[in-house]
């Protein structure tokens, strides 16, 4: 089982990623679809 520190770090990272895309699931999905086409590097 994960400790609270790990969970808090994961949640903080998820919030940062969400904010980068204006908290829009559609924009986030479009980003990952483009990454699949061009590679994740």
Domain range summary for the chain, segments of one domain joined by +? 4-38
pLDDT (0 to 100) of residue 40: 73
pLDDT (0 to 100) of residue 14: 94
**pTM of the full structure:** 0.68
Mean per-residue pLDDT over the chain, rounded: 91
26, 30, 33, 35: CA torsion to nearest 10: -130
9 is written with which tokens?
């770090």
What pLDDT, in 10s, does the model give residues 15-34? 999 999 999 999 999 999 99
What pLDDT, in 10s, does the model give residues 4-19? 999 999 999 999 999 9
């Amino acid at each position: 089982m994960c400790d609270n520190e790990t969970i808090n770090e994961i949640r903080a990272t998820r919030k940062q990623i969400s904010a980068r895309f204006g908290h829009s699931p559609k924009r986030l999905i479009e980003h990952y679809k483009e990454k699949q086409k061009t590679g994740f590097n």
